[in-house]
Structure 1
Amino acid sequence: MTLTFAHPPHLSEVARRAKPSSSAPTPSATSSPEDPHQLPVYDSGAPVLYLPPLLSSLPKNVPAVPLSSENPPLITETHLPDIDPASLSLHKALHNFHPIDANYASTPYKNAFNWSQLTLPEDEEREWYCVVFRSKRKAGSDGGCQYLFQLVIVVLNSLFLPFEALYEADKKAHEEAVRNGGLIMYWYGIPNQETGMNLATCIWQSRKHAIAANSRPHHLKAMKLAKDSYEIYNLERYVLRKPKGDTHVEITSFDGGEVGW
C-alpha cells in the first residue's frame, strides 16, 4: 500500500481564495488580503505553486512598503518594535522570496531559494541568523496545520490535540516573537505528498533574538502541545551575510558565535 500525506491548503492559498473582487475595497499596504492567523477552512483545491513569505510588519514609525499586486507576501498584524536600516533593506528584498522549485524539502538550504535574486544596497554590511526546520509528521494522519512560530507541521489527529487549541497557541507564539523583536521573516512549505517531508525557515536580526524567543511563555506552551506530532524533526542553522561592496547575499553554515546585533 502506498501512503500519501494529505495537507490542508497553505495559508497563501486561503488568502488567494479570499481575495476580494474588483468591486471590493482594496487592502491597505500594511495588511495582506487575508489575516495569516485566521483559522482557515480546509477544502480541496489546486496546489499553490508560489509560496510567499510571512513577513513581520514593520514598526509603526516606519513607512509601509507597498505590496506587489502579483504574488504579494503575507504580513503579520503584530508590528516589530524596531528594525535597523540593513534589516529594513532585507525586509524589502524578502517580499520576493520564494523556493526555486518544489523539491525544497530535500534541497540544501543555499540552493533551495532564490537568494541570488535578492539585492540590497551596495554600501550596507550585515549578518542575520537563519533557522531551518526539516520535518515529517507521523504517518497515518488525515491532515495538518503549520505551526506559526516554531515552524513545524502539526498532525490533526484525534489521538493528539484539538486543532483550535493548538492553532490559538501557535498564533500567540508567533505574535509574541514579532512583538518582542528580531523575527524578520517566516516561510514554510507544503508537505511532500509522497514522503511527508517539509521545510520551514525563519530569519532573525540576530541569534540573541532567536534564543530569547525560545523562553517566551506562548512559545513554551505551543512546543508542549506539538511535541508528539513528528517522526522527523531536524534543525539546521545558517548565517545570511551581506558583504559591503556587493549587492547580493550569501548563505554559510553557522559554526558558533554571535550573529547580528
Structure 2
Amino acid sequence: MLEESDQMLTVLFRDLNPTPSAYSNPLTAPLLECFDFSVICKFPLEKSIKFYLVAFRSVRKATADDTLLYKLDAAAQAEALESGGLLRYWYGRLNAQRECLAMCVWSSRDAAIRAGTLPAHIQAASVAHRMYDTYSLERYWLELSPSGSPDRRLTVTLNTISQTKP
C-alpha cells in the first residue's frame, strides 16, 4: 500500500509517457529519449529529490507463453504496489522484432529491493530464461532538481547505477 507521500509522488509520474523511441528502438535508445520527461519538469519542487528507476529491455522468444508472462507480470505489479514505493510502472508493447522495454519508478532503492524478494516477483523472474532470447536490467538514480526557470521548473538527471545482462 502506498504511503501518503508516495501517493502524492505518483501524481508526478502519472503522465510520464513513452516516446516513439520506446517502441522503435527499445533495446538501445537512451532512457531519457524513451520517455517524455518534460511533463514532470513543470512540477513545482523546492529541493532536489531522487528516485530509483529500473528498466527491463528484452527480446521475447517466439515460443514464449504470452498469457503466462502477462499473468505473472500483473501479479508482480500488484504485489509491488501493495508492498509500497512503486510510483510508476510502464510496460511497452512488442515491436516487430519482439523487442520490448519496461520501466519502474520507485520511491527508493530499498522499496525496489523489497518488492524483488516477494513471491510473485520471484516467480516472474524464474521464467525469464524460458521466455526471452535476451534481456537486461538497468538501474538508475533519477534526480529531479529545481531549475530556477518559470517554464521548466525541474531539471532531470539520470545516472546509471548498473546494467545486468544475464
TM value normalised by structure 1 = 0.53
Q: For structure 1, which runs of at least 5 residues remain unmatched after alignment?
A: 1-79, 142-154, 158-162, 257-261
- Structure number with the bigger relative contact order (C-alpha 8 A, sep ≥ 6) is 2
The residue number in structure 2 matching 1:156 is: 65
Q: Partners of 2:142 and 2:107 in 1: how far apart?
A: 10
Q: Deviations over 1:124-147 (max 9, x none)?
A: 431000001110012x33xxxxxx
Match of 1:98 in 2: 17
The aligned residue for residue 117 of structure 1 is 39
For 2:130, what is the secondary structure of its paired residue? coil
Q: From the CA coordinates, give the structure whose radius of gyration is larger.
A: 1
Identity of paired residues, percent? 31
| Distance in structure 2 (CA, Å) of the matches to 1:127 and 1:120 | 14
If each structure's helix is expressed as a fraction of its own residues, which one has the higher value?
2
Q: Which of the pair is proportionally richer in strand?
A: 2
Matched letter for residue 65 of structure 2: L
Q: Tell me the residue number matched to 1:254.
A: 160
**Per-residue deviation, residues 67-88 of structure 1 (Å, max 9, x unmatched):** xxxxxxxxxxxxx33042xx54
Unaligned runs of 5+ in 2: none
| Distance change >3 Å, CA 167–CA 122, structure 1 → 2 | closer
Q: What's the counterpart of residue 104 of structure 2? A: 202
1:104 and 1:199 in contact (8 A); partners too: no
AA matched with 1:98:
N
- Aligned to 1:243, which of 145, 151, 156? 145
Structure 1 pair 186–249 and aligned structure 2 pair: CA distance change class (3 A): farther
Give 1:133's match in structure 2, choosing from 44, 47, 56. Answer: 56
- On the 8 A contact 2:147/2:155 being kept in 1, the answer is no
2:2 equivalent among 62, 81, 85? 81
Task: Report which stretch shifted further, 122-131 or 247-256.
Answer: 247-256
Give the TM-score, by structure 2 length.
0.79
Over the residues paired in the alignment, what is the CA RMSD in angstroms?
2.3
Inter-CA distance 251–197: structure 2 relative to 1 (3 Å threshold): farther
